[in-house]
Structure 1
Amino acid sequence: MPTDPLVLSSFPFPAPTGSNVDVLIVAGEHSGDEHAARMVSAALKRNPTLKVAALGGVNLKSAGAELICDMMPYAIVGIFEVLKHYSELKKLHDEIVNWILKYRPRAVCFVDYPGLNLRLAKKLAEHGVTTKSGGDIRLLYYISPQVWAWKAKRRFEMAGLIDTLGVIFPFEVETFEDTGLETTFVGHPFLAENYQLPTTYDADGDVLLLPGSRSGAIGRIAPVMFQAFGELLRDQNDARAKCIYASDTLKELLESILSQYGDLKERIELVPNSTVVKASSVLTSSGTMSLNCALSGIPGAVVYRVHPLTYLFGKMVLKIPYIGIANILLHQAFYPEFIQGAAKARVLADELLNCLNNASRIEQTSELSGKLRTILDKPASGGAGAWLNKNVSR
């Protein structure tokens, strides 16, 4: 989180160069920057004259947007961290609003990250500059908050603020039907032309262990994954594993956990998330990487452990039959889910053995992966880039 005066000296944001901005992209965290960059790149291929400014990161800049502010230093999670840096985040929020009020882009496209983006949309409406508040700035939203899982009433708030919504799961169109909000399925960014899945299936590849990208999740999930792999070695002593980490800090955490398992650290290689991994099977947390693995056709299972109170709260508020997105999309257990106490080392080791040696499971995984790709592929009308162009040019 930025505390360095050199970082904060970026306030106020610079004026855009050249002509008026057609669309300002607001992508406040890393995955949003990546997904938005692919959308902008596709939009500019269709319409090279489109003037795009961005509050995002290096990916949006590389895609052809004029980067007004690097938002990645501000991409923090957790209530404590937000409170700790409240004054800096408030300055950031106010500066974004001020920039939009001053330079009046034709449209603003928010990307995911509802904690920031819906507050911005509400503040702009209070100023009366958005089309739904009587002004002329259209508000677009790409990658919806998961209102189908929790905070369902939020969809009505969005309908009162946003002009159009581009969703990445086809069932989300139906989710917003009762709100009157124009909602379009634009395909999933993992199937975009210029996206490479970070995993591929290879029967001779390593076992892949994916305990998540947040320290709390890793602390609870990585130990049982490592123990499960240790159990697997009793039955298949030539097995090797790879465990992907998202940052140097998380690598250090994984090294600390792995050091508790003796010689096992010689059989589990820690690799950065920039590496494309060939995997024969996977144990994965329920996050984004589980969908990557499903689309790659890698047999496996979901492992999920959280604080007991968090789990009880989740059971009360979440209204979904599965926690893995591939399972939700297919209405069946593409990846069996082992949650809380059900995630035991021996049970997970047996799942891995089945993934490695059961030919019918491997074949079924491949078939379901193909079905998943069909569900998530962009519609004939075009993907996110076409959607952006259409809604900016109105």
Structure 2
Amino acid sequence: MEPVSSLKPPKEASVDVLIVAGEHSGDEQAARMLRSLLDINAGANVVALGGPELKKAGADLIFDMMPYAVIGFAEALKRYSEFKALRDAIVNWVIEYHPKVVCFVDYPGLNLRVAEILHDKKVTRKSGGSISIAYYISPQVWVWKAGRRFKMARLLDGLGVIFPFEVDSFSDTDLDTKFVGHPFLQKDYELPVVFDPDGDILLLPGSREGPISRIAPVMFAALELLLEEKGELRARCIYSSSTNRKLLLELLQRHPSLSGKVELASNSEKSKTLCVLTSSGTMSLNCALAGVPGAIVYRIHPFTYLLGKLLVKIPYIGIANIILDSLMYPEYVQGSAQPEALKMELLDCIDNPDRVSGARKSSEQLRTILDHPAEGGAGSWLQSFIEAP
């Protein structure tokens, strides 16, 4: 892990935008926003704390945030001192190099706290300073901790949301909230998965080590049971980093009957699949938009789950299910995520034509809901802060 002391200075003295993206999906979505921005303003000087996608998109990457991707309260608590040091380093960097705009991407545990400290130090527009604070991909206040919307309204100059219903979540505040379209509906975006009745079974255990260690074993066990009945099938399991690949290899070795049956593939490769078992993350929406039938598998730290049960008051976990307000993907959560149940889901996806036609219909509904507005997407939205007097 890169030490916080290695937070680098910008390559150029004048910084238009500092992007802070703290996990793999945030890195990917921020990179799409950046490419869109640079199409509009090729000369923008954008610095980032993020990952490889932001760097490839043209950002001056001053710090690799990907090792700091965690999920849940328990995991974050164990690494509190690391996050505190990172938080303080970001604040000090902003004060020293004074970007015109700071654009936070998702990751509210760190990002909202950094925004609050910058506000307290009176360097932001909302606190009498000159730095604009933008936020792309809102914390899910419609899921839990709804009171955060008032804090966000106090700290932020603007919020770009990727689900249209999120605008209403902030209607009782004065926060300038705009639906900028979902990045998966951008013209230059190609879904990394496509439905193919002759394809592999797709396994998506997530992009973070904690969930992978809990979700992948039950997926592999379900696949073992399935192959007892349909031995001709093959599976593809997706990883997002070399660290995740190593972990998946270790977990797969505990299932010797799957030798030669499961391909580990990078998330940079396109997958053809007939059905999917997926965690509740970003890739599950890709699969839903592609019309792939499947099911959600969700296992997290028990303490985090119990805490969530007390605080979260929505009927679904999968984002496609939430958007559609119906079960496109059946959800197997914690103890209900058992190999036999998941095997039966896979069998139904393979043998039941209604599952395929239902997934296709749900995909069409999602596309209609998530398409970007005519006035422009995330790049245009970010450019408006650069242009602000």
TM-score, normalised via structure 1 length: 0.89
Q: CA deviation at 1:84?
A: 6.9
Decide whether aligned partners of structure 1 residues 103 and 267 sit closer, same or farther in structure 2, where only a CA change above 3 A counts: closer
Decide whether aligned partners of structure 1 residues 23 and 246 sit closer, same or farther in structure 2, where only a CA change above 3 A counts: closer
State the identity %.
57
Task: Give the corresponding residue for 2:35.
Answer: 41
Partners of 2:192 and 2:286 within 8 A in 1: yes
Partners of 1:208 and 1:241 within 8 A in 2: yes
CA distance in 1, matches of 2:251, 2:49: 37
> What is the aligned counterpart of 2:333 among 329, 339, 344?
339
CA distance in 1, matches of 2:331, 2:155: 37
Decide whether aligned partners of structure 1 residues 367 and 236 sit closer, same or farther in structure 2, where only a CA change above 3 A counts: same
Counterpart of 1:209, as a letter, is L
Partners of 2:181 and 2:378 within 8 A in 1: yes
Q: CA deviation at 1:369?
A: 0.7
Q: RMSD across aligned C-alpha pairs, in angstroms? A: 2.4
Moved more, 284-293 or 74-83: 74-83
SS of the equivalent of 1:173 reads helix
Task: Give the corresponding residue for 2:2.
Answer: 2
Superposed counterparts of 1:69-148, under 5 Å:
69-72=62-65, 75-77=68-70, 89-148=83-142
SS of the equivalent of 1:17 reads coil
Q: CA deviation at 1:309?
A: 4.1
CA distance in 2, matches of 1:32, 1:307: 22
Q: Which deviations, in whole Å up to 9, do the C-alpha atoms of 1:62-85 show, x marking residues without a partner?
A: 323334x12336524366876776
Q: Which deviations, in whole Å up to 9, do the C-alpha atoms of 1:255-313 show, x marking residues without a partner?
A: 33333333222322222222211100011111222111111111111122334444332
> What is the aligned counterpart of 1:311 among 293, 298, 305?
305
Q: CA deviation at 1:232?
A: 1.9
CA distance in 2, matches of 1:108, 1:84: 28
Superposed counterparts of 1:1-394, under 5 Å:
1-3=1-3, 8=5, 10-11=6-7, 13-15=8-10, 17=12, 20-67=14-61, 69-72=62-65, 75-77=68-70, 89-394=83-388
TM-score, normalised via structure 2 length: 0.91
CA distance in 2, matches of 1:16, 1:221: 41
Decide whether aligned partners of structure 1 residues 25 and 367 sit closer, same or farther in structure 2, where only a CA change above 3 A counts: same
Q: CA deviation at 1:143?
A: 0.9
Decide whether aligned partners of structure 1 residues 139 and 15 sit closer, same or farther in structure 2, where only a CA change above 3 A counts: same
CA distance in 1, matches of 2:248, 2:88: 38
Decide whether aligned partners of structure 1 residues 116 and 339 sit closer, same or farther in structure 2, where only a CA change above 3 A counts: closer
CA distance in 1, matches of 2:86, 2:221: 44
SS of the equivalent of 2:264 reads strand
Decide whether aligned partners of structure 1 residues 271 and 63 sit closer, same or farther in structure 2, where only a CA change above 3 A counts: closer
Partners of 2:10 and 2:47 within 8 A in 1: no
SS of the equivalent of 1:281 reads strand
Counterpart of 1:373, as a letter, is R
**Which runs of 5 or more structure 1 residues have no equivalent in the other structure?**
none
Decide whether aligned partners of structure 1 residues 382 and 73 sit closer, same or farther in structure 2, where only a CA change above 3 A counts: closer
Counterpart of 1:329, as a letter, is I
Decide whether aligned partners of structure 1 residues 366 and 162 sit closer, same or farther in structure 2, where only a CA change above 3 A counts: same
> Which of these two proteins has the greater Rg computed from alpha carbons?
1
Counterpart of 1:17, as a letter, is E
Partners of 1:243 and 1:271 within 8 A in 2: yes
The count of aligned residue pairs is: 387
Partners of 2:74 and 2:303 within 8 A in 1: no
CA distance in 2, matches of 1:263, 1:388: 51
CA distance in 2, matches of 1:111, 1:307: 24
**Which runs of 5 or more structure 2 residues have no equivalent in the other structure?**
none
Partners of 1:322 and 1:328 within 8 A in 2: yes
